[in-house]
Chain A
């Protein structure tokens, strides 16, 4: 029941918001933030909520509307509730009612992706979560001045991701036909055997979808534009949570059911992960658009998680779980803070910003924490994840990969400090008037994210406990 409410509740309430009168913006925002907060409480209070399942298909394979918590997904939906709350509570955007409605639908659909215990249901929510993002980008996209025509980024996002969603669908159908049931996520992996005839094809279908979603080079071209153009509240949730759906898929579907193919694909995935790691870091170092720097840093960080998953080591996997949550927290707080800055200064170009710290100490502090978490400062969540991943990858015998991965992590310190300096330090730009510092409501929005970064940094064990379960999956 709890899990059903988590998925359907936000969607239904989101659609009901459309029935509010047109001007009821602050009411809509209040309802949206309340729904997200309630979702958080519901997840936090009942971590052992039972699964909910209803039969769906009986032929040609059995499928069910089966929702339930898994070891990683529990933390991810908790994170999503926090991020949605943070995005909505200090929202200032035209047509708030429609925006909030779409955000809630997005939250429900993404909860569905992570809570689905049935592959077909997973595929259903996978496609469903793309639509609100597309509509949000059409209605509220913020293209940087002088760039492409409005809507181009929305197209790219949709076409890439739906193409992935379709291969996922085909692979799911094949999986169902071969296995007889798609109601498998979280089931004991020994019971499922996908033969070597279909295995590679099914894996290829899943892997394409997951790699587009993550994304990795060379399938990433939709990502920088999307992240740069989306309003901050949406990008927090898309980069923080939606981009983890692919990695989650590799862990929850790939490892248990397509283990053989995962092992076979490991060299390729290592390569893709390393390329993403380096490429993202280098491009982030050269970009001028602050949001694009964050976007490319995301590409780099998620490459690291990909390597962690494909090293098949329990410690690395625990690190991946911690880093998935940590990255969600710092990329959400980073994008939200950049959004607040852009809202005030009406630019996000480093060349046009500078010296804001003097007049905006609170804003500067918020950006500093996100940047430090992103570059892996010990004591914050990012460090815990990176350390676990690197030691796991090393322990798995890939010492060279661990060594190589250190380089972009050092570069990360460079580009994150460059971002911070470019905006906050340096000579004050004459053409930037004094603006208001971070308001209370904005601080209230960022507080849970920062708190999460600290807590997870001090005690990553809460999330890493997943490692013991992961060890059963790895053969």
Chain B
């Protein structure tokens, strides 16, 4: 095998967006060395924004191309492109929340880490073999371990350590599962797995693999880490984790569920996944009921939301994966919109924001309250938002795949979640004595742009649900 055939231009092209994101991190670090102190923050974020935008544009252009790069290690196609695009958009939005993460002298470093994490998630979205899955996952996680600790608060270090230990354990599960899967198929390629005869090795390997993925997705009962980690981490990092980690892990789960299992044993292997999804919808929403810290609340809400998305995969139908992607996009905008509103309400991007801070917001800052209400309506699945349309599509997918019971659980979970989200709406709209409320404002107006874009996206996607057609995950 000659060198030329090992990495053809098409191979390079497939990895171009992820590479651009990873290299932008180096550029940001380099500029940081030269930049005067006053501009360090802006410069690092600006460089990252340019790199991410370039990657986003290239991804959009690549959408129709399908190609198995590097001998099937990275499967470029509509599926990977859409997931990567969501990762890119989410990263851009996250950077806007506090204009980077941490103090001025930390921003270049934290931005670089965030970009590397994002590129890890992009690799996961196209991973065609077990090695690439693990590579992407670790790249994603390593950056996050550090990012969680970028804060002066002691809880941040606790959060980082907790995440490091628990997430490493999950990686261990995943790796052990991969080893067993390799034993079953004799190959690291996911495509080889699909042709394997059912065996105990396959069953055990899939089990461990799925446990690892469920942990990264924070599906109940593997969700315990998420609220603590979100609460301790800086706001922007929580926002990043709530979307990017989930997008990467969902892509792997979808590819595994849809294309990597022998057809005759797939349903048996995946049955626990649907049960776990159902459990997440209920436990996530029930636990969110009693939360008063916004980050914890959004963490629990995220656990439930991922449950909804995974439910769409049930029965492995074509429309299921399309609607899961649609809902993931809707969730991305609704969730980041809500995070951006929280960012606008704190002077310091690292602050702890309790629900009490929203008291009487509708009378002090009506626009912000209206937009927050809109995002919460979306998360609760009420019209006129993409959350409503997304839910109806997922319901239709579960019903037509013969998993109507999952639809029923989804409705039950949503009913509970109404209380969760409207608790905040209620606090905002009940009149309070102004003297008792701490009214803080964000020093930069950047989150306003994010809020506006997210609101527009949630509204438009709600009326005209664009579900990408070319998104069946491939293994060849």
User: Are A and B genuine complex partners?
Assistant: yes
A159 to B407, CA, bound (A): 19
Is A134 on the interface with B (CB-CB < 8 A)? yes
Q: Which one of B214-222, B237-245, B387-395 is at the A interface?
A: B387-395
B residues apposed to A, CB below 8 Å: 319, 362, 366, 370, 377, 380-384, 388, 391-393, 395-397, 399-400, 404, 407-408, 410-411, 414-415, 418-419, 422, 425-426, 429-431, 463-465, 467
In the complex, what residues of A have CB within 8 A of residue B431's CB?
A: 139
In the complex, what residues of A have CB within 8 A of residue B381's CB?
A: 166, 169
Interface residues of A in 160-178 (CB under 8 A from B): 162-163, 165-167, 169-170, 172-174, 176-177
Q: Which one of A55-63, A243-251, A442-450 is at the B interface?
A: A55-63
Given contacts A127-B382, A131-B377, contact A173 B419 (CB under 8 A): no
In the complex, the answer to whether A124 meets B384 with C-beta atoms within 8 Å is yes
Which chain B residue has the least Cβ–Cβ distance from A154?
B426
In the complex, what residues of A have CB within 8 A of residue B396's CB?
A: 60-61, 173, 176-177
Interface residues of A in 47-61 (CB under 8 A from B): 56-57, 59-61
A123 to B389, CA, bound (A): 11
In the complex, the answer to whether A138 meets B415 with C-beta atoms within 8 Å is no
Checking A150, A162, A170 against B382 with a beta-carbon cut-off of 8 angstroms, the contacting residue is A162
Is A452 on the interface with B (CB-CB < 8 A)? no
In the complex, what residues of B have CB within 8 A of residue A162's CB?
A: 380, 382, 415, 418
In the complex, the answer to whether B414 meets A138 with C-beta atoms within 8 Å is no
Interface contacts beyond A60-B396, A123-B392, A166-B414: sample of 13 additional A-B pairs, CB < 8 Å, sorted by A = A57-B465, A60-B393, A60-B397, A120-B392, A128-B383, A138-B430, A139-B362, A151-B426, A155-B422, A166-B415, A170-B407, A173-B395, A173-B399
23 residue pairs bridging A and B, Cβ less than 8 Å apart: A56-B464, A60-B393, A60-B396, A61-B396, A127-B382, A127-B388, A128-B382, A128-B383, A131-B377, A138-B426, A138-B430, A139-B429, A151-B426, A154-B426, A158-B418, A159-B419, A163-B418, A166-B381, A166-B411, A169-B392, A170-B408, A172-B392, A174-B399
In the complex, what residues of B have CB within 8 A of residue A120's CB?
A: 392
Could you tell me the distance in whole angstroms from the C-beta of A28 to the nearest C-beta in chain B?
A: 14
In the complex, the answer to whether B366 meets A18 with C-beta atoms within 8 Å is yes
Is A396 on the interface with B (CB-CB < 8 A)? no
Is A401 on the interface with B (CB-CB < 8 A)? no
In the complex, what residues of A have CB within 8 A of residue B388's CB?
A: 124, 127
A159 to B425, CA, bound (A): 13
A162 to B419, CA, bound (A): 10
Given contacts A60-B397, A124-B383, contact A163 B391 (CB under 8 A): no
Is A135 on the interface with B (CB-CB < 8 A)? yes
A135 to B366, CA, bound (A): 13
In the complex, what residues of B have CB within 8 A of residue A165's CB?
A: 382
Checking B366, B410, B422 against A158 with a beta-carbon cut-off of 8 angstroms, the contacting residue is B422
A135 to B425, CA, bound (A): 9
Which chain B residue has the least Cβ–Cβ distance from A95?
B363
Checking B319, B382, B404 against A59 with a beta-carbon cut-off of 8 angstroms, the contacting residue is B319
In the complex, the answer to whether B467 meets A59 with C-beta atoms within 8 Å is yes
A159 to B417, CA, bound (A): 10
A57 to B467, CA, bound (A): 10
In the complex, what residues of A have CB within 8 A of residue B464's CB?
A: 56
A residues apposed to B, CB below 8 Å: 18, 56-57, 59-61, 120, 123-125, 127-128, 131, 134-135, 138-139, 150-151, 154-155, 158-159, 162-163, 165-167, 169-170, 172-174, 176-177, 201
In the complex, what residues of B have CB within 8 A of residue A177's CB?
A: 396, 399-400
Q: What are the nearest 4 A-B pairs in CB distance?
A: A173-B395, A124-B383, A138-B429, A60-B396
In the complex, the answer to whether B426 meets A60 with C-beta atoms within 8 Å is no
In the complex, what residues of A have CB within 8 A of residue B426's CB?
A: 138, 151, 154-155
In the complex, what residues of B have CB within 8 A of residue A125's CB?
A: 383
In the complex, the answer to whether A163 meets B415 with C-beta atoms within 8 Å is yes
In the complex, what residues of A have CB within 8 A of residue B404's CB?
A: 174, 201
In the complex, what residues of A have CB within 8 A of residue B407's CB?
A: 170, 173-174
A139 to B425, CA, bound (A): 11
In the complex, what residues of A have CB within 8 A of residue B393's CB?
A: 57, 60
A131 to B426, CA, bound (A): 11
In the complex, what residues of A have CB within 8 A of residue B408's CB?
A: 170
In the complex, the answer to whether B395 meets A170 with C-beta atoms within 8 Å is yes
In the complex, what residues of B have CB within 8 A of residue A170's CB?
A: 395, 399, 407-408, 410-411
In the complex, what residues of A have CB within 8 A of residue B410's CB?
A: 170
Which chain B residue has the least Cβ–Cβ distance from A94?
B431
A57 to B322, CA, bound (A): 14
Could you tell me the distance in whole angstroms from the C-beta of A126 to the nearest C-beta in chain B?
A: 9
In the complex, what residues of B have CB within 8 A of residue A60's CB?
A: 319, 393, 396-397, 400
In the complex, the answer to whether A134 meets B465 with C-beta atoms within 8 Å is no
A151 to B423, CA, bound (A): 11
In the complex, the answer to whether B418 meets A159 with C-beta atoms within 8 Å is yes
In the complex, what residues of B have CB within 8 A of residue A201's CB?
A: 404
A150 to B427, CA, bound (A): 11
In the complex, the answer to whether B411 meets A169 with C-beta atoms within 8 Å is yes
A155 to B467, CA, bound (A): 35
In the complex, the answer to whether A151 meets B430 with C-beta atoms within 8 Å is yes
In the complex, what residues of A have CB within 8 A of residue B383's CB?
A: 124-125, 127-128
Instruction: Choose among B382, B383, B426, B431 the residue with the greatest number of A CB atoms under 10 Å from its CB.
Output: B383
In the complex, what residues of A have CB within 8 A of residue B415's CB?
A: 159, 162-163, 166
In the complex, what residues of A have CB within 8 A of residue B418's CB?
A: 158-159, 162-163
A94 to B198, CA, bound (A): 71
In the complex, what residues of A have CB within 8 A of residue B397's CB?
A: 60
Which chain B residue has the least Cβ–Cβ distance from A138?
B429
A123 to B382, CA, bound (A): 10
A177 to B392, CA, bound (A): 11
A403 to B319, CA, bound (A): 54
Could you tell me the distance in whole angstroms from the C-beta of A50 to the nearest C-beta in chain B?
A: 22
In the complex, what residues of B have CB within 8 A of residue A176's CB?
A: 396
